[in-house]
Amino acid sequence: MRVEEMALRSEIRQMLNEVGFNRETIKEMVRNSIDDIVKNQVNQVLMERKEKDLGEVVSDYIESKLYTQIRNTSESVIRDKLRWMKFNVNVNVQTEEESEDKK
């Protein structure tokens, strides 16, 4: 950073301090601004989904999470059970020619 830039930054910082702006006040202003933007976006999405009321949205969310949890738990239990079971599998493969020869 050049000397001119450092001097300019120092002068700007001093001017902001004189009017009561410091790093924390600016952070708070940005947080409040972001909070307002997020609230507006959430309200807009809810307004666009007028066909579904909030209860349905929450119900659908809970249902999808419950389905996912049940599926994951079932897969885990079945995988564990199958891992400890012993299988006796016999496979017979017969081509069409072999089956015609036997007739």
Question: Got the DSSP string for 22-79?
Answer: -HHHHHHHHHHHHHHHHHHHHHHHHHHTTTS-HHHHHHHHHHHHHHHHHHHHHHHHHH
The model's confidence at residue 12, banded by pLDDT at 50, 70 and 90, is confident
What does the alpha-carbon distance between residue 36 and residue 31 come to, in Å, rounded to a whole number? 9
pLDDT band at 75 (very low <50, low <70, confident <90, very high): confident
Query: 80-92 burial, b for 16+ CB within 10 Å, e for fewer?
Result: eeeeeeeeeeeee
Q: Which residues 6+ apart lie within 8 Å of 60 measured at CB? A: 52
Is residue 56 very low, low, confident or very high in pLDDT (cuts 50, 70, 90)?
confident
Largest CA distance in the chain: 104
User: What pLDDT, on the 0 to 100 scale, is given for residue 29?
Assistant: 85
Q: Which of these ranges, 6-10, 31-35, 47-51, 73-77, has the smallest mean pLDDT?
A: 47-51
Q: Rounded to whole angstroms, how far apart are CA atoms 32 and 38?
A: 10
pLDDT band (50, 70, 90) for residue 86: low
